[in-house]
Amino acid sequence: MIDFQKSGGLVPAIAQDHQTGEVLMMAWMNQEAFDETRRTGKAVYFSRSRNKLWRKGEESGHVQTVKGIFVDCDADTVLLKVDQIGGAACHEGYKSCFFRELAGEELKVVAERVFDPKAVYEK
Domain ranges, ordered by start, for the chain:
11-87
Residues 6+ apart with CB under 8 A from 81: 16, 17, 18, 66, 67, 68, 69, 70
The pLDDT tens digits for 21-73 are 999 999 999 999 999 999 999 999 999 999 999 999 998 899 999 999 999 99
CATH no. for 11-87: 3.10.20.810
Q: How far apart are CA 31 and CA 46, in angstroms?
A: 9
E strand intervals along 18-105: 23-29, 44-47, 52-55, 64-71, 78-84, 100-103
| Per-residue model confidence (pLDDT) at position 81 | 98
The pLDDT tens digits for 82-103 are 999 998 999 999 999 999 999 9
The pLDDT tens digits for 13-27 are 999 999 999 999 999
pLDDT tops 60 at residue 123:
no
- Number of other residues whose CB lies within 10 A of the CB of residue 116: 11
What is this structure's pTM?
0.92
Biggest CA-to-CA distance, the chain = 44
Q: What mean pLDDT do residues 8-16 have?
A: 96
